[in-house]
Every structure is written in structure tokens, then in C-alpha cells.
Copies of this chain bind each other. A is one copy, B any other.
Amino acid sequence: MKTTIYDVAEKAGVSISTVSKVMNDQQVGKKSKQKVLKVMQELNYKPSVLASALTGKRTSTIGLLLPDLANPFVAEMARRVEDRAHEFGFSLVICSTDLNPEKEERSVSLLRQKSVDGFILASAFNNRQVIADLVDDNIPVLLLSESHPQLAVNSINIDNIVGGYQVASHLVSLGHTRIAVIGEDATSSQQRINGYKQAFQESGLTVHEDLIAISDSSVEHAQLLTKELLNHPKRPTAIIACNDVLAISAILAAREMGLDIPKDLSITGFDNTLLSKSCDPPLTTVEQGLDKMCAQAVDLLIEEIEGKSTAKQRILVLPQLIIRKSTDFCPN
């Protein structure tokens, strides 16, 4: 039998209200307070979050929704969010959505039943209606590394357009003109692609829409798409992948076709994950200030949860190009 507030009250010879007040730092006589604290110690009493949440207090739990926890970049983000959340005594319930709008809805609905205090939607979240409902119902939400400009929601993001622009400019400066892109069905990919297009246009190059492919984020599919891109009558000399995992898939596919990276084909990633350093060759990629972003995200959400927040914010962080060995001059 778990020890309850009643056990403490009885053993300390006070009423449960007094015990409750001690726990919540409300006015209590010094003597009673000491006694109660001592008994709590002795009984190793831990109040039930369930019960206290039922009476209107927080659960100190936040729901973290992300596309796929198995994606190293996403996992890294989750870890950082987790650390910051723990600092405030919050825990994380994590759900992978696979970018599937129904899963997204189910997860949010489930977590709402479990009374999480707020949500962080990280990396990508497609079901806009669900977000809107959350906002309507006054449940704190924050978009991390994902944006829905239509919605009045706190969000914190890297500037994906700049990121795409940086990568594309880098390749262009190496002499590439036929550059393929492989992205995911997510806003961030779209924005990165837009940046790429801008860089192209600025350099007076034409964008070939048939060199832009959208993967469903499985490794197999990405490889398939890569091969298709490389079989294009006028084979591209570089591929911009919208994240590191896609980039690695592309490397594998290219290698299977007998191509040397970066001699025959330059490939760039995005996110600067662990993978990008340890793969062969190490990836040229884009670093997001993940650490700061995640911390800020948690801070902002918790502020909103605790009702201290002012107006909604939309924060943009600037990315940074990291040049490694997967890009080289355009062959011939």
C-alpha cells in the first residue's frame, strides 16, 4: 500500500490540509511544519501526481511529438528537449507520428486524455487542424523546427531557406549546375528547397523540377529515388539531401551504381548529426544551433504552461554550413 497524505497527517497528528499546505509552501506554524516534514521523510512519502493534477494542478508532463524517434537527428533533438525539461521537473511523453496525420491526431488525443500540460511538435507535424484545436482549447503548443505560418503558435526554427541557400551556393561555387534535390514531405524540406531555388536563380541557373524528389523517409525509398535521379538522361553532378539520413541513403545508392563520392558526385546533408561526421566520406552539411533551440523551446513552452507568457513568439535561428569531404568540384 502506498503511503498517502492521510498516513502522514495521522502520524504527524495534524489534518491532511496542514500536510497539503506544507507541501505547497503555504502558511503553516513552524512546529507543525517541522513535524510534518520529519514524518514525510520517515515515511518516504511522495505525493501522487495523479491526485494533485485531478484538483487542478499541473501534471508536469509535456508531450513531445516527432516524426520518427529512430532518426538520429530527431533523437538528438529529443534528448536536448528532455534535458531541459528535466531541469524544470517536467517529464516527456514521446510519440513518433511518421508524419501520418491520423497518428498525429491519435497521439495528441491520447496525450490530452492523459492531461499533459502542453505539447512540443518537433521537426514536422502535418495535421494542421489538430494544432488549431489545441490552440482553440488553450492548450500550450510549441512548434520546434517546424512552422505553420497560418497559426498563432509559439515556434522556434532555423531559417531553412537560408540553409538551403547556403548549401546550394556552396555547390554552385564548386561549379555544379545540375543539382538534384531529395527531400521529405515536410515544410522544412520545402523551405530548404526554396532556398536552393533562390540560390539557383541568383546565379542565373535554371531549376529543373524533375530533379527534385520527395521521399517517404524510408531508407529504401530514398535509395530508389536517388537511383532514379542518377539515371536521369542528364545525370546531376550533385545531390542536396534535405537531411543527413537521406544523404547517407543517397551515398549508398550512388555507390551501388559505381559512383565515387565526391569525385563523381557531390552530396550534401542537413542537420549535422553524429552520422554526418562518422560516415564515409564525412558529410558536408548544415548545422543548426540545436542545443540553444531546444532549450529555448522548452523555456517558452513552460512559460506558457505557467501562464507567465506574454504574446506568442516566432523565433528564427540562423544555420551554418559545415564543409566536409562529401562535396568537391564539379567533374569535367
Binding site for B on A (CB under 8 A): 46-51, 53-54, 59-61, 68-72, 74-76, 78-80, 82-83, 86, 89, 91-96, 109-115, 245, 248, 251-252, 274-275, 277-280
Contacts and interface: CB of A to CB of B under 8 A. Distances in A.
B275 A72 contact: yes
A260 B80 CA distance: 34
Contact of A75 (B53, B75, B91, B109): B75
Contacts of A82: 69, 94-96
B114 A59 contact: yes
B78 A69 contact: yes
A69 B61 contact: no
Nearest to A137: B2
Contacts of A275: 72, 274-275, 278-279
Given A69-B82, A74-B75, A245-B278, 6 more contacts: A68-B79, A70-B78, A72-B275, A93-B93, A248-B278, A252-B278
Nearest to A252: B278
B115 A49 contact: yes
A75 B69 contact: yes
A83 B53 CA distance: 28
A72 B275 CA distance: 9
19 contacts: A47-B113, A48-B115, A49-B115, A50-B54, A69-B75, A69-B79, A70-B72, A71-B75, A72-B75, A74-B75, A83-B96, A91-B110, A91-B111, A93-B94, A245-B278, A251-B278, A252-B278, A278-B280, A279-B279
A83 B103 CA distance: 11
Contacts of A277: 252
Contacts of A110: 89, 91
Contacts of A278: 245, 248, 251-252, 275, 279-280
Closest 8 CB pairs of A and B: A75-B75, A70-B79, A280-B280, A69-B79, A72-B72, A49-B114, A70-B76, A46-B113
Contacts of A111: 91
Contacts of A61: 93, 114
Given A75-B70, A76-B70, A113 B48 contact: yes
A50, A75, A79, A278: residue with the most chain B Cβ atoms closer than 10 Å:
A278
A50 B91 contact: no
A251 B282 CA distance: 12
A114 to B, nearest CB: 5
A47 B109 CA distance: 11
A240 to B, nearest CB: 18
Contacts of A96: 79, 82-83
A112 B46 contact: yes
Nearest to A255: B280
